[in-house]
Amino acid sequence: MINDLHLRDRKHLWHPYTEITAFEGAQFPIIERADGVYLYEVGGRKLLDGISSWWCVNLGHNHPRLVGAIWEQAAKLQHSILGGMSHPSAIRLAEQLAEIAPGELTHVYYAGDGSSATEAALKIAIQYWKNLDVAGRTRFISLEDGYHGDTLGAVGVGYVEQFHKDFTELLPPATRAPSPHCADCPCGKVAGECEVDCFTGMEELIRKYHRVTAAIIVEPLCQGAAGIRIYPEEYLRRLRRLCDEFDLLLIADEIAVGFGRTGKMFACERAGLVPDMMTIGKGLTGGYLPMSAVMLTDKIYNTFRRDGERIRTFYHGHTFCGNPITSELASAAISVYQDEDIINNSQPRSKQLEAALRRLAEPLQNSTVLTLGMIGVIELSPADGGSARATRIAAKALEAGLFIRPLGPAVYLWPPLTITESELDDMLAILKDAFIATA
């Protein structure tokens, strides 16, 4: 049964972010169902989901309220165009989002997945300045090794060399500040013991390019795909201050870290600031179906109103944006985050995660441990085996029943926020054994 599925998979299915040759030779897991923090392979073996199924299943798998919301809405209204019409599910969700978003991010523009939310946010920023008749604001400043999705506009602001090098000819010229990479500090400082000197690079770019810059886009507090680079809140606060000083729009890409991952509903709240636009996705639906959105202020939204004879419509939209099933699902997910007090209840788990990773890293030499809410990473130094060891650790963990996906030398856990103490203990015990077995 399993072999047959493997053969059929290899014949027709092309997997994202997966090297074909190595994959063809592998006995990769084939998951047929999931529940809570467990993935169940065809054949019955269960695996702990250490990465919330690509950073999105924050509320655990098979949550009855989320599954119920999909069923109920599917039987009522599956699709209704949002261009020029509306429906109650999209309206209710927009109200809920406006209520939970920080500050005055009261308008919601629905998109399909994270990448399409990035595209929408970038285009809104460009058109915003045109709406105001401010010429030349057509560039973006972002962070080196940032990641905002795989569509071309998103790659233009979020280039990761390993992923995107073949497409450089197609990308708009971008201005990138040095990555605040605490495990390999560009300023030679030690994580947690610095004055955020790395912000100087960003500051220089802002001072130089603010007149041609439409917006700055960053992943707040954690550059995920770069290798779970958790960076100081102060970096973001300084960025907000400079954006205010130079009248720049700040776009916070909360697609990965939004919805409780950092210990607050949104990472920007942790840093105590409000961006001008915020992109959300992944955990918005509890990770069950694709949906994303851009949240923005009145100040931006109102520039898109008709001005006498001048039409300033945002000519941008996706067939499935704000569709009733995903809207209803996201609405239910937000209620679950609130009713089950998911974020507060995860606080003891994040302490447990941090303490265990620190213990685990004690015998290591120069590796760095960083945690942020329910994200915990050990970035292995070359002396501790680097990327090659990280790959072996993942393989050992998988044999023992834990699914993780290191990013280069970064071995990390990003478990569902609903994980219990004993489930997290099990995850950490398997990870520890995998470290020991690969030492």
Ligand X SMILES: Cc1ncc(COP(=O)(O)O)c(C=O)c1O
Piece of the chain touching ligand X by CB under 6 A; list 21-29, 111-119, 182-190, 303-311: 111-119
253 counts as binding ligand X under rule CB under 6 A: yes
Residue 209 is among the residues annotated as catalytic for this protein: no
* Interface of this chain with ligand X, residues 281 to 300, rule: CB under 6 A: 281
256 counts as binding ligand X under rule CB under 6 A: yes
Of 49, 113, 150, 253, which is the active-site residue? Answer: 253
Burial 40-69 (b: 16+ CB within 10 A, else e): bbeeeeebbbbbbbebbbbbbbebeebeeb
- Residue 73's Cβ-side half-sphere holds a number of Cα atoms within 13 Å equal to 23
Rounded to a whole number of angstroms, the minimum distance from the CB of residue 128 to ligand X is 20
Phi-psi region of 427 (alpha: psi -120 to 50; beta: other; left: phi over 0): alpha
Piece of the chain touching ligand X by CB under 6 A; list 109-117, 209-217, 231-239, 393-401: 109-117
Among 102, 180, 224, 409, binds ligand X (CB under 6 A): 224
Among 49, 144, 145, 219, binds ligand X (CB under 6 A): 219
In angstroms, the CA 116 to CA 119 distance is 5
In angstroms, the CA 188 to CA 381 distance is 15
Backbone angles phi, psi at 171, to 5 degrees: -90, 140
Rounded to a whole number of angstroms, the minimum distance from the CB of residue 345 to ligand X is 24
Piece of the chain touching ligand X by CB under 6 A; list 42-50, 218-226, 262-270, 421-429: 218-226
Strands (E), 266-333: 277-280, 292-296
Closest CA to 29 of 39, 41, 11, 19: 41
For the chain, give the number of residues: 439
255 counts as binding ligand X under rule CB under 6 A: yes
* Interface of this chain with ligand X, residues 306 to 365, rule: CB under 6 A: none
SS (H, E, C) 203-216: HHHHHHHHHHEEEE
Residue 298 is among the residues annotated as catalytic for this protein: no
Residue 253 is among the residues annotated as catalytic for this protein: yes
Q: Which helix (H) or strand (E) element contains residue 245?
A: helix 233-245
Residue 11 is among the residues annotated as catalytic for this protein: no
> Which C-beta is closer to ligand X: that of 180 or that of 281?
281
147 counts as binding ligand X under rule CB under 6 A: yes
> Which C-beta is closer to ligand X: that of 224 or that of 409?
224
227 counts as binding ligand X under rule CB under 6 A: no
Number of H helices, E strands in the chain: 17, 16
Residues of this chain that bind ligand X (CB under 6 A): 113-115, 118, 147-149, 219, 224-225, 253, 255-256, 281
Annotated catalytic residues are 17, 147, 253, 282
